[in-house]
Amino acid sequence: MTDKKLIYLDNNATTAVAPEVFEAMRPYFCEQYGNPGSIHAFGGSIMSKIEHAREQVAALIGADRKDRHGKFTEVIFTSCGTESDNTAINSALRACPKKKKVIMSAVEHPAVFTLGKDLEKRGYPVSYVPVDSSGCLDMERYEEMVDTETAIVSIMWANNETGNIYPVEKCAEIAHRYGALFHTDAVQAIGKLPCNMADSQIDMLSLSGHKLHAPKGVGALYVRRGIRFRPNQIGGHQERGRRAGTENVASIIALGKAAELALHSIKEENTRIKMLRDRLETGLCANIPKAKILGDIENRLPNTTLVGFEAIEGESILMMMDRLGICASSGSACTTGSLEPSHVLRAMGVPYTIAHGAIRFSLSIYNTQEEIDFVIQEMPAIIAWLRNMSPFWKK
């Protein structure tokens, strides 16, 4: 690492742990390291901290139902968003083995999409709802797909690449008409969009700590009370038998604190961050010929923009940005390393010459206007330099 300033615009890949979150989790490594399942007070007393974290997560997603002991049991702690997604879908198939059909969108994150492909190999019929060129769901096709054989529908709340927000409440209502469960991968939505599960039709919802300023390696799955549930991980009785394995105490406490902070920063996400994102888009489009915003411009996460720079490679753009200390991503961070455009851009039918040069900028509450202005100032020269060498570039 050099001493150049880092401009981190890759917050859909992961976020910095908030200093308050780090402070909250710090005592649970070397001081309060007991096992919450222990009988002695040293360990056992930690259980109340986990319950408090559960309450904080429940507050962020508006899950207000308690059990008869006053516990917010609808929230199950997991190791990540991927585990939550897998657990939800596998649970639905196991809880109701007579129904085999699974429906998901064609633009799900690999945490859901790859599971879909794997289920297909194991003989489950999986249907993928197509999207249009802006990445919007084909709701008519969706309605045609759902039937009484459908065990579960899983549609993401917000897309990690384009930032597109999907009509999950409407999708849940349609799923319920046919007796199917509805799950949403809300990993990118939670903390950026208001959420009120108490007033929702969604049966299960996944979230991940490291997308909202908690550490990597912790997530949660919301399971509406009364939904038949089958655990993915079998063993001890942790999480009321729904997710075995000694609790990742420090990270769970951290997720609770991050949830509390996120509840307060949603307004900032939707005003200051959105204003910076819009400033970035306007600046790039005004100064770079044929820069194209991809996705549903009207209905996106406030922090995300995916910009297609025609006739050049995203990887080359990222490398030149990296030299200036600017971090972004080409499509999904999880799919970089492969030069194929992501399955999301392919599902949208984005022409290859644009898809290859698509760069995702994703902001957080830690970004400043000065950083955005630096990016607006530097990007035109990078794009012009690469296009100069490109055989595909026509002015």
Q: Which is nearer to ligand PLP, 239 or 310 (CB)?
A: 239
Each residue 298-337 as x (binds ligand PLP by CB under 6 A) or -, in order, gives: ------------------------------------x---
Query: Interface residues for ligand PLP in 110-139 (CB under 6 A)?
Result: 111
Q: Which is nearer to ligand PLP, 21 or 386 (CB)?
A: 21
Strands 75-78 and 219-223: antiparallel
Q: How far is the CB of 108 from ligand PLP (least distance, A)?
A: 8
Query: Interface residues for ligand PLP in 136-175 (CB under 6 A)?
Result: 156, 160
Among the listed residues 11, 56, 82, 164, the single contact to ligand PLP using CB under 6 A: 82
Query: Interface residues for ligand PLP in 194-213 (CB under 6 A)?
Result: 208, 210
Q: Write the CB contacts of 293 (distance below 8 Å, at least 6 apart in sequence).
A: 281, 285, 305, 306, 307, 308
Q: How far is the CB of 104 from ligand PLP (least distance, A)?
A: 12
Site size toward ligand PLP (CB under 6 A) is 14
Q: Which is nearer to ligand PLP, 360 or 387 (CB)?
A: 360
Length of the chain: 395
Q: How far is the CB of 343 from ligand PLP (least distance, A)?
A: 13
Q: How far is the CB of 82 from ligand PLP (least distance, A)?
A: 3
Residue 184 forms beta bridges with which residues?
205
**Candidate ranges 40-48, 52-60, 180-188, 296-304; the one touching ligand PLP (CB under 6 A):** 180-188
> Catalytic residue among 96, 285, 327, 334, which?
334
Q: Which is nearer to ligand PLP, 155 or 383 (CB)?
A: 155
Among the listed residues 46, 80, 255, 306, the single contact to ligand PLP using CB under 6 A: 80
Active site residue 334: yes
The CB-nearest residue to ligand PLP is 81
Q: Which is nearer to ligand PLP, 80 or 202 (CB)?
A: 80
Q: Quick check: 95 binds ligand PLP (CB under 6 A)?
A: no
Q: Which is nearer to ligand PLP, 56 or 159 (CB)?
A: 159
Site residues (CB under 6 A) for ligand PLP? 80-82, 109, 111, 156, 160, 185, 187-188, 208, 210, 219, 334
Residues known to be catalytic: 334
